[in-house]
Amino acid sequence: MSQPRRHIFITGGASGIGRAVALHFAQRDWFVTVTDVNEAGLEDTLGLIGGGFKYSHRLDVRDRAAWDVALDAASTAAGGRIDAMFNNAGIGTGGALNELEVEEIDRCLDINLRGVLYGAQAVYPHLQKTAPGSALVNTASAAGITGGSGMSVYSATKFAVRGIAESLDAEWAPEGIKVSSICPSFIETPLLDGTGSRQSNEQIRDRVRQAGLEITPVEEVAATVWDAVHGDDLHYLVGKTARRLNFAKRWMPGRV
C-alpha cells in the first residue's frame, strides 16, 4: 500500500520564507496548506505551486479561535492529517526602544510571540495523531541568539521563540513529536531581519553589505526547514551570518 501524502501547515505563506517553504515541500510531493492575512499573496503562492496538492486559508495568528478553524479545515482538505507545522508568520520592529510607540511594541509581541504560542497549542492534537515523526518548526532568528541596536522588541520575541521550542520539545518528545526552531539571518525577503519599520530594505541591504555580512537566498531557509522536519536538532542556523555567531546546534547540553 502506498504511503499517505504528508501534509505541512504553514503560516506567513503569502510571502518570503513561508512561500519558499511551501514551494519546497510541494515539489517533494507533500500536501501544502498556506495561511496568512494577505489573501492575494496566498493566491499567488498557490499559483506558483501549480498543480500540486494544496490548500489555503486566511488566518490571523493573533486569533486563537481562528487557529482551530483553519487547522480543522486544512486537515480535512488533506485527508484528515497534519504531519508538520511551520509556525512562521512574523513582523519586524526596528528602532530604539524609547522611540517606539506602545502600539508597535504590542503588535510585534502579539504576532511574533502570542501567535507562535497559540499556533503550538492549537496544532498539538493534530500532531499527536500523526506521531511519531510529526514536527513543529518555529521561525526564530539570529536575532534570537544575539540582540543588537534597534532590535530589543524583535529580539525579545525571537529569544522567546527559541525558549518555546526548547520547552515544547521537552514536553512533546515523549510522544514522538519533534519541535525545533530555525534561526535565519538576513534573508532575501520583503522583511529583512526585524528592522522593517524604520528603514527601507535597500538601506538595510547597504548596512549589511558594509558590515561585510551576507544576504542569504530564501531557498536556503526552505531547505533548512525540510531538514528540521526530518532531523533531530533543536535549533537550525541559516545563513553565514548566523553561523558566524558560533552558536552550538544544541543550545543547552543534552535535552530534558
Asked if 70 touches ligand NAD (CB under 6 A), the answer is no
Q: Is 169 in the site for ligand NAD (CB under 6 A)?
A: no
Phi-psi region of 130 (alpha: psi -120 to 50; beta: other; left: phi over 0): alpha
Contact pick of 23, 32, 82, 91 for ligand NAD (by CB under 6 A): 91
Q: Which residue has the cell 544576504?
A: 215
Reference 160, options 144, 149, 147, 172; nearest CA is 144
Pick from 41, 52, 95, 150 the residue near ligand NAD by CB under 6 A. Answer: 41
Touching ligand NAD, residues 188-227 (CB under 6 A):
189-194
- Indicate the SS3 state at residue 104: helix
Contacting range for ligand NAD; rule: CB under 6 A; set: 54-62, 66-74, 171-179, 206-214: 54-62
Q: Which stretch binds ligand NAD (CB under 6 A): 12-20, 22-30, 65-73, 129-137?
A: 12-20
Q: At what angle do helices 218-230 and 16-27 cross, to 10 degrees?
A: 60
Among residues 93, 165, 184, 234, which is the contact residue for ligand NAD, using CB under 6 A? 184
Q: Which of 56, 88, 130, 224 binds ligand NAD (CB under 6 A)?
A: 88
Rounded to the nearest whole angstrom, what is the least distance from the CB of residue 50 to ligand NAD in the complex? 20
Q: Is residue 21 near ligand NAD by the rule CB under 6 A? A: no
Catalytic position from the list 55, 118, 124, 154: 154
124 labelled catalytic: no
Q: Work out whether 139 is an interface residue with ligand NAD (CB under 6 A).
A: yes
Report CA 141 to chain centroid distance, whole Å: 9
Query: Strand, helix or coil at 9?
Result: strand
Residues 55 and 43: their CA atoms lie apart, in Å, by 10
Least Å from the CB of residue 136 to ligand NAD:
14
Query: Between residues 36 and 169, which has the closer beta carbon with respect to ligand NAD?
Result: 36
Backbone phi and psi for residue 212, each to the nearest 5 degrees, phi listed first: 75, 20
Range in contact with ligand NAD (rule: CB under 6 A) among 25-33, 35-43, 206-214, 247-255? 35-43
Smallest gap from Cβ 175 to ligand NAD, in A, equals 26
**Three-point CA angle 28, 29, 30, nearest 5°:** 100
Please give the DSSP secondary-structure letter assigned to residue 178.
E
Give the one residue of 6, 8, 34, 36 binding ligand NAD; rule: CB under 6 A: 36
Per rule CB under 6 A, is residue 150 in the interface with ligand NAD? Answer: no
Contact 130, 82 (CB under 8 A): yes
- Cβ atoms of residues 255 and 233 within 8 Å: no
- CA dist 209 and 44 (Å) reads 30
Q: Which residues are catalytic?
A: 154
